[in-house]
């Protein structure tokens, strides 16, 4: 069990550019979650998938954000036309069926210049 | 609307003593609570959890207490070790859904 992995670990981009992050959950974890964490705050929920279905989206997830999990395994989070306010740590977590605990990856730190 | 609150941004404790981290919540529908530990530049690491049907859960040096009437939970670390120095987040969940996190408490264990 290698844990949740996220790539890239760091991303620096210019305002207006598009970025895409990837999350590989723990094998056989059917639920996958995306969170965002800014300085001094706890993680805030963005969206989650059960298998390939996106079941819930936070109001934080503006229309510039899109997430996919096409085959129910890895997931991508894309931010279009990035803004400086998008600078944050983007965290992915996964959870096994019939269990309660979400396990987090190391995160992708996004800096928008 | 912060549904989970950690009112102490920081806590310093001597090595070997007890660390007590507190968390309050407002949503009475929360049915599962977790504590995570976070080092800089890493994702949160799961520590310990408790279901709303229990009032205590223990795992080695870590014990979580839940007081539903007061909507309060606490994490006790005994004895505290320098390696416990990190930011601790309290989180709560309704059903099978997403977690609501507090803002964290930075614990420093002084050797």
Task: Tell which residue, A37, A44, A43, A36, has the closest CA to residue A77.
Answer: A36
Residue A32's pLDDT is what?
96
B101 to A43: CB separation less than 8 angstroms, yes or no: yes
CB A33, CB A95: distance < 8 Å: yes
Instruction: Return the residue matching tokens 């709560």.
Output: B92
Residue B42's pLDDT is what?
87
DSSP state of A42: -
Question: Does A1 score more than 60 pLDDT?
Answer: no
The share of chain A scoring above pLDDT 90, in percent, equals: 86
The share of chain B scoring above pLDDT 90, in percent, equals: 91
Give me the mean pLDDT over the B30-57 stretch: 94
Question: Does B25 score more than 60 pLDDT?
Answer: yes
DSSP state of B83: G
B98 to A45: CB separation less than 8 angstroms, yes or no: yes
| Token couple for A74 | 């890895």
A107 to B99: CB separation less than 8 angstroms, yes or no: no
Give me the mean pLDDT over the B36-43 stretch: 90
Q: What residues of B are in the A interface, CB distance below 8 Å?
A: 4, 32, 34, 36, 41-46, 49, 51, 89, 91, 93, 96-104
B98 to A40: CB separation less than 8 angstroms, yes or no: no
Mutation for B interface: A24, A35, A36, A42, most B CBs within 10 A: A42
pLDDT tens profile A37-88: 998 899 999 999 999 999 999 988 889 999 999 988 999 999 999 999 999 9
Question: Does A107 score more than 60 pLDDT?
Answer: yes
A106 to B93: CB separation less than 8 angstroms, yes or no: no
Instruction: Output the CA torsion sign for A42, A55, A94, A97.
Output: positive
Q: How far is B65 from chain A (nearest CA, A)?
A: 18
Residues B6, A29: Cα–Cα separation, whole Å:
30
Task: Tell which residue, B47, B15, B51, B36, has the closest CA to residue B87.
Answer: B36
Residue predicted with more confidence, B9 or B97: B9
Residue predicted with more confidence, A10 or A60: A10
| Token couple for B33 | 């609570």
């Amino acid at each position: 069990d290698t844990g949740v992995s996220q790539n890239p670990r760091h991303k620096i981009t210019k305002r207006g550019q598009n970025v895409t992050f990837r999350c590989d959950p723990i094998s056989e974890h059917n639920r996958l979650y995306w969170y965002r964490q800014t300085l001094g705050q706890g993680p805030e929920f963005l969206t989650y998938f059960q298998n390939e279905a996106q079941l819930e989206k936070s109001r934080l997830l503006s229309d510039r954000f899109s997430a996919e999990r096409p085959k129910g395994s890895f997931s991508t989070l894309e931010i279009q036309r990035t803004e400086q306010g998008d600078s944050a740590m983007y965290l992915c977590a996964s959870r096994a069926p019939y269990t309660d605990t979400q396990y987090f990856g190391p995160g992708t730190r996004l800096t928008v210049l | 609307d912060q549904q989970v609150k950690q009112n102490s941004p920081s806590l310093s404790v001597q090595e070997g003593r007890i660390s007590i981290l507190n968390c309050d919540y407002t949503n009475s529908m929360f049915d599962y609570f977790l504590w995570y530990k976070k080092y800089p530049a890493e994702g949160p690491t799961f520590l310990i959890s408790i279901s709303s049907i229990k009032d205590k859960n223990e795992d080695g040096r870590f014990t979580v207490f839940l007081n539903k009437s007061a909507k309060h939970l606490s994490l006790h670390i005994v004895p505290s070790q320098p390696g416990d120095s990190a930011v601790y987040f309290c989180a709560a969940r309704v059903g099978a859904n997403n977690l609501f996190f507090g803002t964290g408490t930075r614990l420093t264990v002084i050797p």
